[in-house]
Amino acid sequence: MGKIIPIDVLGECGHPSPFKANYPKFFTDDNGVVRLVHTLDYAPGASADDIEYFQRAGARERLFFRPEETTVGIVTCGGLCPGLNGVIRAATFCAVEGYGVKKVLGFRYGYQGLAEDETYPPLELIPDEIDEIHEKGGTVLKSSRGPQDSGRMAETLRRRGVNVLIVIGGDGTLRGARDLQAELKARGLPIAVVCVPKTIDNDIGVIERSFGFETAVQQASEVITRAHAEAKSIRHGVGLVKLMGRESGWIAASASVANSNVNFCLIPEVPFGLEGPGCFFEHLRRRLESKDHAVVVVAEGAGQDLMAAAGGEDRSGNRRLADIGPFLKDRAEAWFRRAGVEVNIKYFDPSYAIRSTPANAADSEYCLRLGYNAVHAGMAGKTGLVLGLHNDRLVHLPIALTAERKLVDPQGWLWQMVLQATRQPVCMLGKAGPSPAAPQNH
Amino acid sequence: MGKIIPIDVLGECGHPSPFKANYPKFFTDDNGVVRLVHTLDYAPGASADDIEYFQRAGARERLFFRPEETTVGIVTCGGLCPGLNGVIRAATFCAVEGYGVKKVLGFRYGYQGLAEDETYPPLELIPDEIDEIHEKGGTVLKSSRGPQDSGRMAETLRRRGVNVLIVIGGDGTLRGARDLQAELKARGLPIAVVCVPKTIDNDIGVIERSFGFETAVQQASEVITRAHAEAKSIRHGVGLVKLMGRESGWIAASASVANSNVNFCLIPEVPFGLEGPGCFFEHLRRRLESKDHAVVVVAEGAGQDLMAAAGGEDRSGNRRLADIGPFLKDRAEAWFRRAGVEVNIKYFDPSYAIRSTPANAADSEYCLRLGYNAVHAGMAGKTGLVLGLHNDRLVHLPIALTAERKLVDPQGWLWQMVLQATRQPVCMLGKAGPSPAAPQNH
Amino acid sequence: MGKIIPIDVLGECGHPSPFKANYPKFFTDDNGVVRLVHTLDYAPGASADDIEYFQRAGARERLFFRPEETTVGIVTCGGLCPGLNGVIRAATFCAVEGYGVKKVLGFRYGYQGLAEDETYPPLELIPDEIDEIHEKGGTVLKSSRGPQDSGRMAETLRRRGVNVLIVIGGDGTLRGARDLQAELKARGLPIAVVCVPKTIDNDIGVIERSFGFETAVQQASEVITRAHAEAKSIRHGVGLVKLMGRESGWIAASASVANSNVNFCLIPEVPFGLEGPGCFFEHLRRRLESKDHAVVVVAEGAGQDLMAAAGGEDRSGNRRLADIGPFLKDRAEAWFRRAGVEVNIKYFDPSYAIRSTPANAADSEYCLRLGYNAVHAGMAGKTGLVLGLHNDRLVHLPIALTAERKLVDPQGWLWQMVLQATRQPVCMLGKAGPSPAAPQNH
Amino acid sequence: MGKIIPIDVLGECGHPSPFKANYPKFFTDDNGVVRLVHTLDYAPGASADDIEYFQRAGARERLFFRPEETTVGIVTCGGLCPGLNGVIRAATFCAVEGYGVKKVLGFRYGYQGLAEDETYPPLELIPDEIDEIHEKGGTVLKSSRGPQDSGRMAETLRRRGVNVLIVIGGDGTLRGARDLQAELKARGLPIAVVCVPKTIDNDIGVIERSFGFETAVQQASEVITRAHAEAKSIRHGVGLVKLMGRESGWIAASASVANSNVNFCLIPEVPFGLEGPGCFFEHLRRRLESKDHAVVVVAEGAGQDLMAAAGGEDRSGNRRLADIGPFLKDRAEAWFRRAGVEVNIKYFDPSYAIRSTPANAADSEYCLRLGYNAVHAGMAGKTGLVLGLHNDRLVHLPIALTAERKLVDPQGWLWQMVLQATRQPVCMLGKAGPSPAAPQNH
């Protein structure tokens, strides 16, 4: 019979949904239709009782909030990601056109706008005025980094009469949403906090694919094509491309597989050495001597152990990384100089140019779905939840479940594809190095 | 503890895989790692014994064929689809670079090249020579439509010494592969037939997403943007876009959601009337009178009941469809003329331009994966199987299981999104029309 | 020392330009800075007195209209062309931000909006509201085809207080502008009519390059790449692409040279036969038999002599053409059937998809320049003129001078490049056919 | 009747052109068809005798070299530029398919391959093998920087039997070509040296537009769009884009006009101050305080006077520039910090990603034309010349004439358009600064 992972609710749903008239059979039931989690694999001896399920996202037949009295707020936090405007637009359309809510407020500059409401008053979002924002990159609500005081944010929501707050942001933002939910509860304010997870790195636990990721991989692949052209046009040419991925190598690995012109892919999950025998530079040299050029893709979080710690954290509380791109370039140039071997490295750092593009079709579709379902969840009084695609369906996850980061499994199919597409060595740690990371459950 | 859906094998796997040395932990076990099917949903009272699983795709530790004596054949059949060259390239690389097989033969012109081998001798595929083919649309092996005699094809495979045949094609092609497998079995020829399903329409049963589909949706979305520009630039302008989708509206529906500028989406799964009260033209007129323009997307298989049957079948045995695009345009122009209302219809038929593009990044990655895993399956002596993505993992499916077509469910999330994005009426059948299709299990 | 081709003026320029304060040296003098025309080539025995010059476009130091009392009108006529919105935007910005005019009115639906002003009142164009329109295809003012009564248009201009009318359109539109200018003169209305010539076909006489043309060639080239992929993927595959070009083959010829995958380019300027010996189908057959595929580009106006006249004219007074695309496809299929030779033709008709794209960078720059200089000319009271690029500089041309069509010269460098890039025969008229067209002065 | 600027020839043209049979009327005469230069403007009192003309490029009826005994060499030098492969391909096709020469040799690694011929032997270029290279960025011949010994290069040409050498490169390369021509003359070697000028910066004197420039502007414009999205998505956001342009601001200025989202464009031709009153930062601050974001485009050679000299020269003899991009970013951040005003600068450095793209359609067409005409000139024994577009026609220029750099004229129409599109101040030098540069003859 299994177990459905529960989602917090503000109270009983006493109001009929106005969607009912138009879409009679579209409602999703909290209990009737759910999804299992973690337990896809055949487990001899397992009982059906052990299976865990997620609650499925979707419009509910009965609502906690009375639409015509409801105000929805939206806020975007952290760095850019393709599709932000698509989520904003979809949530606004669903709330106004679908439910007929009273008002949709767009808080500006991320949590800062929620905390400093007098300085940065919110915009009212009107469907007709934002009808084409999804065709542009960036976020019309603007963003900022870093946490803000939960009390001040709660106070703004109360004063502005917000009933449902849709928060679009990454893991720091989700932590902030959890604190805010707690604060609201402590104050007895029945305000729903619904999160749309945003990570261009695609590394939020449990969630199959985050919006903007496929667009980023497409853009990254196009940059790799250019790096390939540079590398092939000079003797011992190296096209070195740094891609996003602070803790995980999803973009780097996927783009390397998609492009198929990459010779070395370096990611945080797979340690490597630079200068010793059996290490990266030796393999790079061999490649240059046999093929005259190489394309190297490195995730920004790769090889952090090789550099002196940069120290500190940024305003979002993210560990500040040392910059692996210029570091690799300098070290390689020095190593090849000592070895008396010519090398010509062209360095590409396309991160801003990638993250500021509009969403491609697949992500646009996904963003529309996320925006609509965030409003559906909020209108039903669900709170403290994250929307996510899991086994190809959209589900409700408790915020806490998404805290774990999703990593590229060095034993999994993606890294296997990378090794086959690049033909790079399984291990570039040299003789004394440790063996590759242990398999992860992926 | 449930049941694994079996896959035919040619015999016992007596040879160690040469992948072993390099990738010690990458092998997938036939029994140990599998996936469940059909039974994701929470079913009170269900027993774990009822759960069905698919065999997972991947490299096997022991092989049926001795690599250095193995010849792999590849053939592409039917219409174009983004990614064909990617699958050809990946399978060739896996066979030659991964396993060190003796030879890879590319049969030309689809099954015709297999049947008329003397007229159209195959090409030998060499990794270095095909290294960049995935960057181009089309298929370097060329294609053809229609079935060929199984006996002649079996004879070609025998004479050319082919051990593993990789067939890339749609449902007609898969039926042909099943016949060929039977013929080979009847002749006692131990030749593996492994299918990579190709359908730009995305409508092969059980399979989550077929390669080339996302690229097609992206391209379709861009055409819709242009139709939107045309429609908005003239009085009562209508941008009418016919998209692929003979039996199912996946491309039309996904592109309509992704683009968000579509006002009416017409697909085979949802019947509609044209001229009566409550039918399409009346709604179109209302839209023109209030907004001055409209964008209409129609899947090629939509509204077939409205036209006199075109009759007959094409060479692949596909039912010949009447052409809904010009039909709709003519009928609409006549109806509006009679109604005394101006209408200016710009008709777009981008099908060839869509299907001949190179794969985007997501499809490129998928094609690489399909090509590699087709060789893995064949080398392990598996036969009569289709590779497919199911619940986000790659599995082996018996050919028979894929015969059922996958349709857009008028009750499912995608059509719900279409209705919300377009704001078109749920039903455009008029008063006398039947109610919308019953819900489907999707 | 030569002669400057005169441009009509409404009267003396009595007002200082408000541009003066900011851009002290930017003004262009009517007499001091001009350009020569027709006489670039070395002509032994020629006198400097024979040289003709055009008046150079640019801001004038003294204006006919007092800016703060001036109303500028803009209208777009005829079919779409990349860059229309760019010209509208640039003219509005120049008028409002540069000169500080009272108002800019956008007349809708082409000349129809000017004639039926009560039914279709104009929009006021505000810089902030139209700041991003150049990023979209189409025209925000909408368009229509066909002439309207000059008297009604003159009356609208008078009633709306328009002082400068900027007309963006093709040759029919320019004829209408000339009539309107005459009408305004007859009524004694001092209203300037300034034309920005629009022809995606690039065939307005004297003018080097019209806006939108390069974008169209880029788009056409991309379609040819797809036709090439289709053609190469089937036996005796032919990718047949119909491109714009009613009277001239500029797009077809330029795209054929730019793409370099075209084997036959058919344009109106170069006659060809289809079925006889030495005619097109025979050459096509030879190509298929040696290379197995071919790409054919045909301008819409090519081979009109081969078809029965379609008869009549469209609303713009353009001769109605028979559709060469399907005609060629049908005839070729019949001819090859009779010859017992397989042929598989994939037909592409991308015209709407090409003309509705946004302008590329080169055209965007050009449109900005055209829009600004149209206002400059109008503010100085110049009327009955067309702006055009001539010998790489922007000049004022009397409308009458642009009536002659610019054709591709079969003896000129462009067609020479086409012959070399395609390697098609110089003549495909068969034995009995006439010789190629006589050289034209180009 | 004026004067034709002479081009060196190796001797009398004693051989008929094999083009004759196919293209009877296509030949261009040295004397009959020429173009004038510098003297387009109306000059009262001027005599026709004062007009100077350029020799027109094109196939000649009689050749200096007998095609079947001729070897053509090609070499590419310096940094990448879109279209290099197009020129290589076109020259090879013209020589082999058009003239039927004996052989085409591609020297690798620029002049280094010519000087070190034993180490880097040339490739033979075969039309069928290079048929699709123009679809890729980079150069298949690879490149290198810096001069090489003329004597060694002459010796290689002699030993390899090269008769016509086509040199594709920038101003350093052209200087080298002049030295090589002198060396060949001194040695009595009748070898033609024909140059195709390559400068993505578009700043070679006399030449209207260099290949690759329009592609670069298009790419730059797309990056600016992304910088705009970044800037608009954060408080006081600045998108800072460094573009190519060592001595001249053509790319920066053209892209700023084409994109229309740029607020400040900084180029080498227009000096500016940073920190004082009336200087750049003050204007930037005003912009941020009124609009909350800004887009800044800076050419790499702008503001060099503001930085301590980086000193030295690179291998091509180009003055080494200090890096204005990071300099501007650092100084701006410090200045705003001192001013107590928030600023968030996103820095884009897309140079490698721009120059490594394939040519767009307009440049592809131009490259085809350049490659063909370079061979035409060489076969006719012309030497020491540069091909260039001048007043929209292709002409032969003596190398010496191209030494002067072409600059953006602060009084010309392009900079005028930049000022109007950006609305930036004419002068950002502060009170004590010098006045803007004097007008240049452009």
Q: What is the CATH number of domain D3-42+49-210+359-402?
A: 3.40.50.450
CB contact under 8 A, D352 and A227: yes
- Contacting residues of D for A212, CB less than 8 Å apart: none
Confidence at residue A309, expressed as pLDDT on a 0 to 100 scale: 57
Q: For the purposes of burial, counting CB atoms within 10 Å of the CB of B310, is it exposed (0-12), middle (13-18) or buried (19 or more)?
A: exposed
Interface of D with A (CB under 8 A): 80, 84, 109, 136-140, 142-144, 223, 225-227, 229-230, 232-235, 237, 292, 346-350, 352-353, 356-357
Q: List chains adjacent to chain B, taking adjacency as at least 3 C-beta pairs closer than 8 Å.
A: A, C
Q: Whole-angstrom Cα distance, residue B116 to residue D29? A: 56
Q: Which CATH class is domain A3-210+359-402?
A: alpha beta
pLDDT at B4 over 90: no
DSSP string, B86-103: HHHHHHHHIIIIII--SE
**Distances in Å between the alpha carbon of D422 and those of A319, C135, D201, D233, D295?**
39, 16, 21, 20, 9
- Contacting residues of A for D215, CB less than 8 Å apart: none
Q: Are C301 and C271 in contact (CB under 8 A)?
A: no
Question: Alpha-carbon torsion B147, B151, B152, B156, what sign?
Answer: positive
Q: List chains adjacent to chain A, taking adjacency as at least 3 C-beta pairs closer than 8 Å.
A: B, D
pLDDT in tens, B220-260: 999 999 999 999 999 999 999 999 999 999 999 999 999 99
Nearest to A364 among B94, B258, B372 (CB): B258
- Contacting residues of B for C232, CB less than 8 Å apart: 138, 140, 142
What single letter denotes the amino acid at residue C102? Answer: K
Q: At the fourth CATH level, which superfamily is domain C213-356+409-422?
A: Phosphofructokinase domain (3.40.50.460)
Q: Whole-angstrom Cα distance, residue B276 to residue B264? A: 17
pLDDT in tens, A122-167: 999 999 999 999 999 999 999 999 999 999 999 999 999 999 999 9
Q: How far is CA A69 from the centre of its chain?
A: 33
- If pLDDT is split at 50, 70 and 90, which confidence band does D391 have? confident
> Dihedral through CA D360, CA D361, CA D365, CA D370, nearest 10?
-10
Other C-beta atoms closer than 10 Å to the C-beta of B442 total 13
- Is beta strand D237-243 parallel, antiparallel or unpaired with respect to D293-299? parallel
- Tell the CATH topology of D215-355+409-422: Rossmann fold (3.40.50)
- Average pLDDT of the segment spanning D237-247: 97
CB contact under 8 A, D353 and A357: no
Closest CA to A87 of A406, A387, A411: A387
Best of A54, A259, A365 to substitute, by most chain B Cβ atoms within 10 angstroms, is A365
- Average pLDDT of the segment spanning B359-383: 97
CATH 3.40.50.460 in chain C, residue ranges: 213-356+409-422
Lowest mean pLDDT among A134-143, B136-145, C108-117, D411-420: D411-420
Mean pLDDT of chain A: 89
CATH 3.40.50.450 in chain A, residue ranges: 3-210+359-402
CA-based nearest distance C314→chain D, Å: 32
pLDDT at B162 over 90: yes
Mean pLDDT of chain B: 89
* Greater pLDDT, B353 or D41: B353
Interface of C with B (CB under 8 A): 80, 84, 109, 112, 136-140, 142-144, 223, 225-227, 229-230, 232-235, 237, 292, 346-350, 352-353, 356-357
CA-based nearest distance B188→chain A, Å: 34
**Residue A131 CB contacts under 8 Å (≥ 6 apart), including other chains:** A89
- Average pLDDT of the segment spanning C419-423: 90
Q: Which is catalytic among the residues B30, B179, B201, B363?
A: B201
- Residue carrying the six token digits 């230069």: D37
Confidence at residue D1, expressed as pLDDT on a 0 to 100 scale: 52
Closest CA to C336 of C255, C373, C282: C282
CATH 3.40.50.450 in chain D, residue ranges: 3-42+49-210+359-402
**Residue A192 CB contacts under 8 Å (≥ 6 apart), including other chains:** A10, A64, A65, A163, A164, A165, A377, A378, A381, A382, A383
What secondary structure letter does DSSP report for A59?
-
CA-based nearest distance D80→chain C, Å: 20
- Contacting residues of C for B119, CB less than 8 Å apart: none
What single letter denotes the amino acid at residue D54? Answer: F
pLDDT at A38 over 70: no
Confidence at residue B282, expressed as pLDDT on a 0 to 100 scale: 97
- Contacting residues of A for B47, CB less than 8 Å apart: 48
CA-based nearest distance A176→chain D, Å: 19
What does the buried/exposed string (b/e) look like for A370-395 if buried means 16 or more CB atoms within 10 Å of the residue's CB?
Answer: bbbbbbbbbbbbbbbbbbbbbbebbb
Q: Which is catalytic among the residues D179, D201, D203, D363?
A: D201
Q: Which residue of C has its CA nearest to B135?
A: C229
Q: Would residue B201 show up in a list of annotated catalytic residues for this protein?
A: yes
**Residue D126 CB contacts under 8 Å (≥ 6 apart), including other chains:** D92, D96
CB contact under 8 A, D439 and C217: no
CB contact under 8 A, D413 and C1: no
**Distances in Å between the alpha carbon of D362 and those of B266, C191, D213, D218, D369?**
39, 38, 10, 11, 11
Closest CA to A82 of A130, A138, A131, A132: A138
- Contacting residues of A for D130, CB less than 8 Å apart: none
Other C-beta atoms closer than 10 Å to the C-beta of D12 total 9
**Distances in Å between the alpha carbon of C265 and those of A159, B65, C209, C303, C428?**
69, 51, 21, 12, 11
Q: Whole-angstrom Cα distance, residue C426 to residue D21? A: 11
pLDDT in tens, B97-134: 999 999 999 999 999 999 999 999 999 999 999 999 99
- If pLDDT is split at 50, 70 and 90, which confidence band does A206 have? confident
Nearest to B235 among C142, C229, C347 (CB): C142
What are the counts of helices (DSSP H) followed by strands (DSSP E) for chain D?
Answer: 11, 18
Q: For the purposes of burial, counting CB atoms within 10 Å of the CB of B298, is it exposed (0-12), middle (13-18) or buried (19 or more)?
A: buried
- If pLDDT is split at 50, 70 and 90, which confidence band does B86 have? very high
Tokens of B435: 């109610």
Best of C109, C120, C232, C233 to substitute, by most chain B Cβ atoms within 10 angstroms, is C233
Tokens of A95: 């709330």
Tokens of C370: 């055209």
Best of D60, D254, D260 to substitute, by most chain C Cβ atoms within 10 angstroms, is D260
Question: Quick one: what percent of chain B has pLDDT higher than 70?
Answer: 87
Q: Whole-angstrom Cα distance, residue A297 to residue A258? A: 12
**Residue B238 CB contacts under 8 Å (≥ 6 apart), including other chains:** B231, B284, B288, B293, B294, B295, B296, B332, B343, B344, B345, B346
Nearest to A34 among B2, B42, B392 (CB): B42
Confidence at residue C371, expressed as pLDDT on a 0 to 100 scale: 97
Mean pLDDT of chain D: 89
Q: Which ranges in B47-123 belong to alpha helices (H)?
A: 84-93, 111-115
Lowest mean pLDDT among A227-236, C45-54, D320-329: C45-54
pTM: 0.94
Q: Whole-angstrom Cα distance, residue C320 to residue C314? A: 6
Mean pLDDT of chain C: 89
ipTM for the predicted complex: 0.92
- Is beta strand A34-37 parallel, antiparallel or unpaired with respect to C15-16? unpaired
Tokens of D415: 């900079």
Nearest to D226 among A346, A349, A356 (CB): A356
H-helix or E-strand containing A402?
A: none
Lowest mean pLDDT among A46-55, A193-202, B299-308, D31-40: D31-40
Q: Whole-angstrom Cα distance, residue B164 to residue B151? A: 17
What does the buried/exposed string (b/e) look like for C139-157 if buried means 16 or more CB atoms within 10 Å of the residue's CB?
Answer: bbbbbbbbbbebeebbbbb
Q: Whole-angstrom Cα distance, residue B302 to residue B248? A: 8
Lowest mean pLDDT among B387-391, C122-126, C210-214, C385-389: B387-391
Would you state the CATH architecture of domain A214-356+409-422? Answer: 3-Layer(aba) Sandwich (3.40)
CA-based nearest distance D45→chain A, Å: 53
Q: Whole-angstrom Cα distance, residue C252 to residue D439? A: 41
Nearest to D218 among C208, C361, C439 (CB): C361
